[in-house]
Amino acid sequence: MSKLGHFGAKLYRGEVGYDFIAKRKIWYGISILITITAIVGLAVRGLNQGIEFQGGAVFTTPKTSVSVHQAEKYATDASGHDAVVQKLGTGALRIQVAGLDTSQSDKVKDALSKDMGVKADDINADLVGPSWGQTIANKAWQGLAIFMILVVIYLAIAFEWRMAVAALVALIHDITITVGIYALVGFEVTPGTVIGLLTILGYSLYDTVVVFDSLKEQSKGIEKQTRWTYSEIANKSINSTLVRSINTTVVALLPVAGLLFIGGGFLGAGMLNDISLSLFVGLAAGAYSSIFIATPLVADLKEREPKMRALKKRVLAKRAAAAAQAETAAVLGHQPDAPQTGDDVPEDSAAPAGAGPRNQPARNRGRGRPSGKRR
């Protein structure tokens, strides 16, 4: 950890660094490829919406020895629809069947009671109408739209409109990837998923704002100097906040990974998957987009300004002049000295210069006086 801290201090001081901005076309290509894959998965497979959005019935049984696979078969045969079964920590089963009304729910409940060997009164049945799910979906989209608008307004006021546009692109990038992963994996989309999506927007925006704040501080008075271009200062901002972003993301991902892999995988708490997957994918995508998408995009937009283009020309011209001057000095410094004839070389200077102290004739100061002082 001390080595990581030392490396982070070097990044912050600009002693070491990686040129993220110069390779931005590679990052753009990777993001476009991932986004296209997510969109294709969403278009082909679609989202596995829970009954909260489709409508249906949820049956909760008491503790039973019936396996999840058997319960799925019983519920599918009784309802004629695909069933989703989750084993709860108490040994009970949670059976979800979409597209059922009240009369169908009663029939399925009786059939499950007979097949599973439990009393019908011990099975709890809850009905969810599709209109309620549609209302939840509309509210989620409204909340997302309001959040995006407020983010753009805030960033445009606190920083500038180019940073607001870049942050908006990064947020859309993160949401698209997260939703696409849900489509490809087939996890159920529930209100918990919506909560997770809205939560990751804050994390993604946090990492982006940290880099933007550093960029804003380091680019003050940039037009008065001819040492750095805007893209180079943007790259310095990424490197100075890189370790902080990594530490924040890792610390946030550890508990989410526990929910996803331990809670949802080993413990079988499938109801945790809907929110934990959105958080896990969203946090990772947010950390990526703040470094590889948002800041390089700001640099691209900023370099289009006439002032920044003029600054870049001055910086490159100054570097070219310095390089030419250094090359000229190197050439002059390595030229051999002109040959000297024997008449030009004094007898006492046959040794090369710098080989030792030069012998100079002694001056007869105070000759004949013991003290050597003049009167």
pLDDT digits (tens, 9 = 90+) for 69-84: 888 888 888 888 778 7
pTM: 0.72
**pLDDT value at 116 more than 90:** no
**pLDDT value at 140 more than 50:** yes
Where does the chain hold its CATH 3.30.70.3400 domain(s)? 56-128
Q: What is the pLDDT of residues 1-18, one digit of tens each?
A: 556 666 666 665 656 678
Mean pLDDT (whole number) for 236-244: 87
Confidence of residue 366 (pLDDT cuts 50, 70, 90): very low
Higher pLDDT, residue 278 or 371:
278
**pLDDT value at 346 more than 50:** no
Per-residue CA distances from 373 to 181, 360, 362, 365 (Å): 98, 21, 16, 8
Per-residue pLDDT, 52: 75
Where does the chain hold its CATH 1.20.1640.10 domain(s)? 25-49+132-314
Percentage of residues of the chain with pLDDT beyond 90: 16
Question: 25-49+132-314 belongs to which CATH class?
Answer: mainly alpha
**pLDDT value at 367 more than 50:** no
Mean pLDDT (whole number) for 239-244: 85
Per-residue pLDDT, 354: 36
Per-residue pLDDT, 59: 86
Mean pLDDT (whole number) for 317-346: 69
**pLDDT value at 275 more than 60:** yes
Confidence of residue 348 (pLDDT cuts 50, 70, 90): very low
Question: 56-128 belongs to which CATH class?
Answer: alpha beta
Per-residue pLDDT, 263: 64
**pLDDT value at 41 more than 50:** yes
**pLDDT value at 336 more than 70:** no
Mean pLDDT (whole number) for 167-181: 91
Higher pLDDT, residue 337 or 28:
28
